[in-house]
Amino acid sequence: MSGKDFPEDKMPAQRDATEGAAAVADEKTPFADPGLPPHEHRIQDVDERAAKRSQRTVALLFTVSALATIGFIAAFVAIPIERSLYVFPLGHISALNFALSLTLGIALFTIGVGAIHWARTLMSDVELSDDRHPIEAPTAVRARVHADFKQGAEESQLGRRKVIRNTMLGALTLVPLSGLVLLRDLGPLPGTKLRHTLWAKGKVLVNMNTNEPLRASGIAVGSLTFAKPEGLEETDHGFQNEIAKAALMIIRIQPDDFKDKRELEWSHEGIVAFSKICTHVGCPVSLYEQQTHHVLCPCHQSTFDLADGGRVIFGPAGHALPQLRIGVNDDGYLEALGDFDEPVGPSFWERG
């Protein structure tokens, strides 16, 4: 419906009548500027009922977007990742992926459609022309820009159409939550599993190289042996995750060389067991200096004194290597007397 169908007294106030006027051709400009076509008012400009309908439509679209975002979050939390469904003609697909893509697509699509419908039906659509001007704006131009911005804000009817404003703000506030929820899928929450290993009371220490239980009589002074918990095999599912927490260094030290009383109490006849995992970033510690009982991490040169409770004496490691309390069972094999009393590995694991 064009503006010619409505009485002039119902038409909105016009801007400067000279705007968009055609220029006459002359010697300087042989091609005349045709100017802008006459502006035709939309039905929403002259009929408040039509404007109200457009307002309700935009508000509905923004509300649907907000509900779709809530549906996205609910689907992410409630739908198991292993569930599938049949969708023609796609076949069997992940129910979670389908729900997430559908709800997020609706949320973004309805915001876009709502914004476009708002701009096309309620915001001002008067075409304006202006002369080019230098990049540096004079004071008068800046004042005009501010005035135009204020006028544009008024013509957008954002202040007047509060339903649109409120539903738009609600939709735009909720949509970013989709991205925040996806951050949860970067990996499973560690819970407290980083605080515990496979070591427990009675677990026999097994040689990593021979896969045989370790006897106390087989550990020589100054030797370095790597051990794992009894029952943990390389073919097991999750072996790498478990050995990354449970790997041990076994050494035997002369009783007179101990500098830490608790370390001596937790040993068996000078045999001590320390975590092999560096407390800096989790590299395997393996370079042992027999005379000083120092052990070096090859990644960043953190150095620990195994005769002094695994204390850090050099490098970026944050704290000493955890010690495992050990003893001997009735068969003469070395066994754990419990789990580590602190999380092994990097310091940040303690936050798990």
**pTM, rounded to two decimals:** 0.51
Q: Which candidate, 285, 342, 287, 293, places its Cα nearest to that of 317?
A: 285
Q: Where are the beta strands (DSSP E) in the chain?
A: 84-87, 91-94, 205-207, 224-229, 248-252, 271-275, 287-289, 294-296, 303-305, 311-314, 323-324, 326-328, 334-336
**Whole-angstrom distance, CA of residue 298 vs CA of residue 285:** 7
pLDDT at 79: 93
Residue 65: predicted pLDDT: 96
Confidence of residue 133 (pLDDT cuts 50, 70, 90): low
SS3 for 301?
coil
* DSSP E strand boundaries for 114-212: 205-207
pLDDT tens profile 210-248:
999 999 988 998 889 999 999 998 888 889 889 999 999
What SS3 class is residue 64?
Answer: helix
| E-strand stretches of 78-204 | 84-87, 91-94
> Can you read off the two tokens belonging to residue 76?
């992410």
Is the per-residue pLDDT at 166 higher than 70? Answer: yes
User: Which is nearest to 18 in space by CA: 32, 36, 40, 45?
Assistant: 36
Lookup result for tokens 């000083």: 292
Place of tokens 């925040």: 180
* Residue 176: predicted pLDDT: 86
pLDDT (average), residues 251-279? 92
Q: Please tell me the least confidently modeled range out of 23-37, 81-95, 206-220.
A: 23-37
**E strands, 6-89, in order:** 84-87
Higher pLDDT, 33 or 298: 298
Q: Say if CB 325 and CB 337 are below 8 A apart.
A: yes
- Of the candidate ranges 16-30, 164-178, 277-291, 303-317, the one whose mean pLDDT is the lowest: 16-30
Query: For 318, what's the count of Cα atoms within 13 Å in the CB-facing half-sphere?
Result: 13
**Mean pLDDT of the residues in the chain:** 86
What gap in Å lies between CA 233 and CA 239, rounded to an integer?
7
How many whole angstroms separate alpha carbon 272 and alpha carbon 176?
53
pLDDT at residue 230, rounded to an integer = 93
Query: Measured over all CA atoms, what is the biggest interatomic distance in the chain, rounded to whole angstroms?
Result: 114
pLDDT value of position 8 = 56
